[in-house]
Every structure is written in structure tokens, then in C-alpha cells.
Chain A
Amino acid sequence: MSSSTSVFEAIKNYMAKNYGKSHGKMLIHTGVIGWILSAAAQVGAIVTNDKISHKQKMYLIPQELADAAVNIVSFYLITQSFKSVVTKAVNCGKILNKPVREFLETNNVKNVGKKTFDVLRDGKLPKDLVDKFESFRNGVDFTGTTLGSILSCNIVTPIIRNEIATNKQKKHIAKMEEYNISVVDPAKNCYLPRPSIQSFQANAYKSSSSLKI
């Protein structure tokens, strides 16, 4: 009981520490796990859908798998990049709201906008401006993460996943056609030798009656 309680407490504290002040980070982590689960369920739905033909399944299954894989990669490459740039730009003072910018300029705070600068650490903002800054940062963070997600999930991923699925379908169809040809190809799979003119004549004479024309 006590160990499960301490695990529960540890989870709560981990959540509070890691995500307590950041929307974007949480959206990225939950998004990735969500895709893996969703892809597994969707592939199952395609496989068990009798109304979709085999040929279409050969396209839709790789499309779904590629969707999850490409989504995860593009989400990390694009969305994470968007989020990192936006968060860094706000934290170091490159992008600021007017009240905070005015405060920093009025108080002659140096190095605003430099990569080592941190608005909350070095800006010495009063409490009301800290709240305004955090609210602004959350809004920009959410907007940046959402714009990055739209670009990666709704534009880049569908283009790449369709390309992958098309190639996979073509390969499967080519394999199937090759298999079908090999099954019916008499040159490869005929158990009886192909009749030649000589063998045909020999058989004809052998089985013919004495009647000659």
C-alpha cells in the first residue's frame, strides 16, 4: 500500500515538475504515444473491413503504418523545432509583449535577446509582470506548437505517407502478378513436357488404326 502510494506521489510530482509550466512539451509527448496506439487500432480496422478490397488494403495498411511513423519523425523534427525556437525566442527576450519590453528598456536591462539571457531569471520582473509574461509565453508556446503540428501532421505527413504507401502497393501488386504468372506459366510449372511436332506425330502414329489415308 505504502509503495503504491509513493509511486502515485512520484508520478504526481513528476507531472508537476516537468509539465507544470509547459503546454508544448506535454502536447509533443502525448501526441507521439497517441499515434502509435491509434495506428495499431486503425490497422486492425482495415484488416477486418470486408468492404475494402485486397488491392485497396495493400495501399491503406502501409498508408496507416507510414502515417504513424512519419508523424512521429516529422513531429519531432518540425513541431519540436517550432516549439524550441518559439520558446527560446520568448525566454531570451527576442519576442516579448509590450509591458515586459517596456519594463526591460526602462530599467536598462542589458543583453535582452542574447541567447544566454533569461527574462524570468535576469529581467527581475515584478510579480504582476511575471504573470503577464507567463501567460504570454503559454499563448505563444501553444500557438507555435499548434502551427508546427498543422504543418507536420496535416501537410508534410500525408504527402510522404502517400508516397510510401503507393510504392508499397506497387511492390505488392508486382509480387502478386509475378506469383500468378509463375503459377500458370506452363514453361515453369508444367508437369507434362511441352508436345513437339515429332512427339505429336509419334503419338498419333502409335495410337492410330491401320487405316491410312
Chain B
Amino acid sequence: MSRISGINLIGQMSSSVTDSVVSVMPKTTISGKNTLKAIDWIGDKFSSPENRLILGVTALMTQPFIDARNKKVDEETRKVSVARTVAKIIAGTLTGYFVRAGCIKMIDAMTQLPSKVDPKTFGGRMRMLFTPEDAKTGVLQDLKMYKNALGTTISLFVMLFTNFLIDAPLTKYLTNLFTDKYVHKQKTDKGGTVNE
């Protein structure tokens, strides 16, 4: 009971903070034709795979540099950390993007409206496997967001496996590749020994 009221309290606080911020914001009208086109295009075309891709690209532009500037750890740990961060971003972004995009595509193919397929055939029924009741009755007509959301959710279940089967091994492989090339090689060039 107290936990529920605690959650409600946090929700109310968050809502009042949002209201306060919005109330001091000036009224803004987006009028530029190209800006509006770009915003509409983003809203129409972009979903979780693109979000993952954007986060991955910007992560490569920030995270390795933040790791490299952490002078509180020794130089070799810092370099291994940079190598692992880059490896993790590459592996995570590639897997995350393709798994999400693939799942959304699969859901798209299997979420057709009754007007577009023949529900009497097996193929038609399969193509309506993920179509919600609201869409079948005509209440919900735009299924784009629903497909994106369901595709992303299913990709989560897929990633339950790919995190362990692809992401982590690929990160490990790339980390070792980068550390062999940039950390251990530099160390042996300087006359040190490779850390086994």
C-alpha cells in the first residue's frame, strides 16, 4: 500500500515538474518547410532500430573519449577499457539494429488488415496472426506504430538469446582484436611483455 502511494507520489512529482517546465517554455511554432518535412519524415520513418543506430553512432563519438580521459586508472586498464567500449558499441549496435529491424519486418508481414488478405486461406490467416481485434473491427486503422512496438517487443525476446549468442562473443572477439593490435602490440614495441 505504502509502496503504491510512494510510486504515485513520484509520478505526481514528475508530472508537476513537467508542468512547471512546460509552463515557462515560450510558445514555439515550427514553420520552416524543410524542418517540418524533416520532423514528419522522422516521425513516419524512424522507430527503435533507427533509435539504436543513432545511439550507437553517437556512443562511438563520446564513450571511448570519456574512457580514455579516466586518468584515475592505470594506462593499460584505460586502453583495454576503450577497446572494450568500442567493441561493445559496434557489436551491440549491429545486433540491436538488425534484430529490431528484422522483427519489425516480420511483424509487418504478419499484421495485415482483413481487406488486404484472404482470411479463409492458411496463408491469409498467417498474415493476420498479429493483427489486433481493434484493427479487424476497423476501430484501429493505422497499424504502423503498433507494428513497430510489437516488433520491438518481440526483438527483446530474440535479444534474450542474441545478447548471449552474438553480442557478448562478438564483443569479446573485437575486444581481443583491438587490445592485441593497439594495447599489447604497443607494449611489446616499447619493450614490455604481453599481459597473459
Contacts and interface: CB of A to CB of B under 8 A. Distances in A.
A30 B81 contact: no
A142 to B, nearest CB: 5
Nearest to A112: B27
A95 B30 contact: yes
Nearest to A91: B22
Contact of B43 (A12, A94, A140, A154): A140
Contacts of A206: none
Contacts of B160: 37
B123 interface: no
A41 B159 CA distance: 11
Given A27-B48, A37-B159, A60-B80, A45 B171 contact: yes
B132 A13 contact: yes
B171 A27 contact: no
A41 B175 CA distance: 15
Interface residues of A, number: 74
B132 A30 contact: no
Interface string B17-37: 111011101111111000010
B132 to A, nearest CB: 4
Nearest to B70: A162
A20 B167 contact: no
Contacts of A96: 28-30
B152 interface: yes
B125 interface: no
B51 A27 contact: yes
B150 interface: yes
Given A15-B132, A30-B153, A94-B28, A146 B84 contact: no
Contacts of A13: 132-134
A84 to B, nearest CB: 4
Contacts of B196: 50-51
B146 interface: yes
B80 A97 contact: no
Interface residues of B, number: 80
Contact of A12 (B76, B92, B133): B133
Contacts of A169: 73, 77
B112 interface: no
Contacts of B131: 12
Contacts of A166: 70, 72-73
B36 A97 contact: yes
Interface in A10-63: 12-13, 15-16, 18-23, 26-27, 30, 33-34, 37-38, 40-42, 44-46, 48-53, 55-56, 59-60, 63
B40 interface: yes
B66 A159 contact: yes
B67 A162 contact: yes
Contact of B145 (A22, A38, A81): A22
**Which 8 residue pairs spanning A and B have beta carbons closest together?**
A139-B43, A138-B43, A19-B149, A139-B39, A45-B168, A41-B168, A41-B163, A98-B31
8 contacts: A13-B132, A30-B153, A34-B156, A37-B163, A44-B168, A56-B81, A113-B27, A136-B43
Interface of A: 9, 12-13, 15-16, 18-23, 26-27, 30, 33-34, 37-38, 40-42, 44-46, 48-53, 55-56, 59-60, 63, 80-81, 84-85, 88-89, 92-98, 101, 112-113, 115, 132, 135-143, 145-146, 149-150, 153-155, 158-159, 162, 166, 169
Given A16-B140, A142-B51, 16 more contacts: A12-B150, A18-B149, A23-B48, A26-B148, A27-B48, A34-B96, A38-B167, A84-B18, A85-B18, A85-B22, A95-B25, A113-B27, A139-B38, A140-B43, A158-B62, A158-B63
